[in-house]
């Protein structure tokens, strides 16, 4: 065993033309910048070429896909263009439990190992990244942040973990640095630390989850300081949606905009797809990134649905060399918007994520998503936080219980406003139980401390 060959079962170096990965290196935002404004036919041609490169590279090196294609009798030569994509097998999250079968790079070429965040009971996925992947990640985020209007004159506070092998914080840092913005790696600090940094660095933009931005603003207000008077003018929201299904701002987003006197921009990304769908200045969905990812929206039978129709987001990230994926099922439900965008880009946009496919609840004859229940209440100062629990009725329908904690709680009539809010936003009202704030916090932060909330508990 050599010094460098003690790792995680990646394929050893191979001779032959498939070992040449030069076509994937040297990611530059300029190279594809024009593509966002190009005619669909030109975009399709470029994407087709990138897709075929991706497929060739992956099939030459990935143990998982070689086996999968062989099982389904699909020869690499049969795939001639993107239109053949529908014939290819789907990759599930559960397939990624052992990522050694997916690793396509020599161990010596891997420069970073990222881990996805585990949800309750699941094992984090290990993702090896090559130098080329880091270059791709930086380019991806450079373009995404640029779309939201971040410029080199901005000072950007990154309130996402940069350690513990998380990819997101690193990606924002790399992309922002590539844009030449001034980067402040605040990481997963407390609201008071973030607020101090905003004041000291004169930050003009913040990247973070909306609930954290709200906490930072609340902290400032408690110190008799006004976040609206800070130089922060852009809030780049990650991890949680900012708009509802109709693209209207959620109450918490409205609250954040007025609290900070800033504009909120939504980004959608995940470690597996290593690509960001970010809102432009028009803020009407995240633009697709044809140079970096093939995006499909599929129905329950795996068929593509037309723009405007809700389905599962299935992605094929292009140009990834460490752990390339083909048709990865994200589990997120959304729809495509193909109407012209006010920014002039011709790429379609991805609407806000409506919910997780496996979290859809059947309730009083309608489909309900746990995040929609909480989104209807967040941003109201009376609401401290809470979570949703689902149980199955013997008749096959779901029982949905909202456990809500209120600020300055006490009066029993205090939950009437919650009922009214939920009825207005969702048309149906789940069972409501009022619990103390400490109990709500203990439950939602039990897996990730302050980093990520778990707000849905499925007992079905
Ligand atoms: Zn746009």
Predicted confidence at residue 409, as pLDDT, reads 55
Predicted confidence at residue 13, as pLDDT, reads 39
Same domain, 299 and 424: no
- Measured in Å, residue 111 CA sits from the centre of ligand 1 at 34
- Measured in Å, residue 237 CA sits from the centre of ligand 1 at 17
- Measured in Å, residue 247 CA sits from the centre of ligand 1 at 14
Q: What is the CATH number of the domain that holds 427?
A: 3.30.300.30
Contact 332, 313 (CB under 8 A): yes
Predicted confidence at residue 233, as pLDDT, reads 98
Single out the residue in 320, 354, 388 at which a domain terminates: 354
Domain that holds residue 391: 360-458
Same domain, 339 and 413: no
- Measured in Å, residue 268 CA sits from the centre of ligand 1 at 15
> What does pTM read for this prediction?
0.86
Same domain, 260 and 188: yes
Predicted confidence at residue 411, as pLDDT, reads 55
- Measured in Å, residue 199 CA sits from the centre of ligand 1 at 31
Same domain, 368 and 341: no
Domain count of the fold of the chain: 2
- Output the tens digit of pLDDT for each of the chain's 460 residues: 333 443 343 443 333 334 444 434 467 777 787 889 999 999 999 999 999 999 999 999 999 999 999 999 999 889 999 999 999 999 999 899 888 999 999 999 999 999 987 665 567 899 999 999 999 999 999 999 999 999 999 999 999 999 999 999 999 999 999 999 999 999 988 999 999 999 999 999 999 999 899 999 999 999 999 999 999 999 999 988 899 989 999 999 999 999 999 999 999 999 999 999 999 999 999 999 999 999 999 999 999 999 999 999 999 999 999 999 999 999 999 999 999 999 999 999 999 999 988 888 888 888 898 988 998 998 888 899 999 999 988 888 889 999 999 887 555 556 888 999 899 888 889 999 999 999 998 888 876 555 567 889 988 8
Same domain, 399 and 315: no
Predicted confidence at residue 380, as pLDDT, reads 85
Same domain, 96 and 158: yes
SS3 labels along the chain:
CCCCCCCCCCCCCCCCHHHCCHHHCCCCHHHHHHHHHCCHHHHHHHHHHHHHHHHHHHHHHCHHHHHHHHHCCCCHHHCCCHHHHHHCCCECHHHHHCHHHCCCCCHHHEEEEEECCCCCCCCCCEEEEEHHHHHHHHHHHHHHHHHCCCCCCCEEEECCCCCCCCHHHHHHHHHHHHCCCEEECCCCCCHHHHHHHHHHHCCCEEEECHHHHHHHHHHHHHCCCCHHHCCCCEEEECCCCCECCCCCECHHHHHHHHHHCCEEEEEEEECCCCEEEEECCCCCCEECCCCCEEEEEECCCCCECCCCCCEEEEEEECCCCCCCCCCEEEEEEECEECCCCCCCCCCCEECCCCEEHHHCEEECCEEECHHHHHHCCCCCCCEEEEEEEEEECCCCCEEEEEEEEECCCCCHHHHHHHHHHHHHHHCCCCEEEECCHHHHHHHHCCCCCCCCCCCEEECC
- Measured in Å, residue 155 CA sits from the centre of ligand 1 at 23
- Measured in Å, residue 150 CA sits from the centre of ligand 1 at 14
Single out the residue in 315, 331, 354 at which a domain terminates: 354
Predicted confidence at residue 10, as pLDDT, reads 41
- Measured in Å, residue 379 CA sits from the centre of ligand 1 at 26
Single out the residue in 326, 354, 382 at which a domain terminates: 354
- Measured in Å, residue 342 CA sits from the centre of ligand 1 at 6
Same domain, 178 and 302: yes
Predicted confidence at residue 121, as pLDDT, reads 55
- Measured in Å, residue 180 CA sits from the centre of ligand 1 at 22
Q: What is the CATH number of the domain that holds 33?
A: 3.40.50.12780
């Amino acid at each position: 065993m050599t010094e460098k060959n003690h790792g995680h079962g990646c394929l050893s170096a191979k001779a032959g033309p498939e070992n040449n990965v030069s076509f994937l290196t040297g990611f530059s935002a300029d190279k594809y910048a024009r593509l966002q404004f190009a005619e669909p036919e030109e975009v399709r041609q470029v994407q087709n070429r990138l897709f075929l490169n991706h497929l060739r590279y992956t099939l030459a090196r990935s143990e998982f896909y070689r086996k999968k294609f062989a099982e389904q009798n699909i020869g690499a030569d049969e795939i001639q263009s993107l239109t053949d994509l529908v014939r290819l097998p789907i990759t599930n999250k559960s397939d990624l439990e052992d990522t050694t079968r997916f690793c396509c790079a020599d161990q010596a070429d891997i420069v970073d190992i990222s881990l996805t965040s585990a949800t309750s009971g699941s094992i984090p996925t290990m993702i090896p990244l090559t130098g080329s992947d880091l270059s791709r990640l930086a380019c991806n985020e450079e373009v995404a942040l640029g779309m939201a209007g971040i410029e080199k004159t901005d000072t950007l506070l990154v309130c996402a973990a940069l350690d513990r092998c998380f990819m997101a914080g690193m990606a924002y840092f790399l992309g922002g640095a590539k844009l030449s913005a001034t980067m402040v790696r605040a990481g997963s600090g407390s609201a008071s630390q973030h607020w101090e940094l905003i004041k000291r660095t004169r930050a003009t933009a913040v990247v973070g989850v909306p609930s954290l931005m709200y906490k930072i603003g609340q902290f400032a207000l408690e110190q008799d300081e006004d976040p609206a008077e800070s130089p922060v003018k852009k809030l780049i929201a990650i991890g949680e949606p900012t708009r509802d299904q109709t693209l209207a701002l959620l109450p918490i987003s409205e609250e954040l905009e007025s609290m900070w006197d800033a504009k909120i921009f939504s980004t959608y990304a995940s470690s597996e797809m290593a690509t960001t769908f970010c809102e432009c200045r028009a803020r009407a969905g995240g633009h697709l990134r044809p140079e970096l990812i093939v995006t499909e929206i599929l129905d329950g039978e795996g068929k593509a649905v037309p723009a405007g129709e809700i389905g599962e987001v299935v992605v094929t990230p292009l140009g990834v060399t460490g752990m390339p994926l083909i048709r990865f099922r994200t589990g997120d439900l959304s729809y495509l918007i193909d109407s012209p965008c006010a920014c002039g880009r011709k790429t379609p946009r991805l609407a806000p994520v409506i919910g997780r496919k496996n979290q859809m609840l059947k309730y009083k004859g309608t489909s309900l998503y746990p995040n929609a229940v909480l989104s209807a209440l967040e941003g109201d100062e009376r609401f401290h936080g809470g979570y949703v629990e689902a149980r199955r009725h013997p008749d096959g329908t779901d029982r949905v219980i909202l456990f809500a904690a209120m600020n300055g709680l006490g009066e029993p009539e205090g939950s009437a406003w919650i009922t009214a809010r939920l009825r207005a936003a969702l048309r149906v009202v789940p069972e409501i139980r009022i619990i103390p704030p400490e109990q709500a916090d203990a439950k939602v932060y039990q897996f990730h401390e302050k980093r990520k909330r778990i707000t849905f508990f499925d007992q079905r």
